[in-house]
Structure 1
């Protein structure tokens, strides 16, 4: 019997090993305003959050080289 490559299984295993979720809860009105702002700016929520995370990491690196 030939072992076939299971692309979906591989992707799920890779994601489990290499990716992490970042979660938070905010007031509904605040979230709706954020979603609307992202649409107006033609960007995604993930891109905005990723940019904020990168900026935070860079600021921390400037203060302390342990990040």
Structure 2
């Protein structure tokens, strides 16, 4: 029972933090900088700007 209460409390805390982060464009930009998505200049970081590519799985070489 306390598990569901703690989940509800956690979801409410996330909701409040999201509201704070998106209140103004400046707070939204600051949140994206803290998460590492934007640089301080406002550009998207290389990690998030990279094209997603499918890689072939490494196959074990048979001896």
TM-score by length of 1: 0.32
TM-score by length of 2: 0.34
Normalized per residue, the structure richer in helix is: 1
Q: Which has the larger radius of gyration?
A: 2
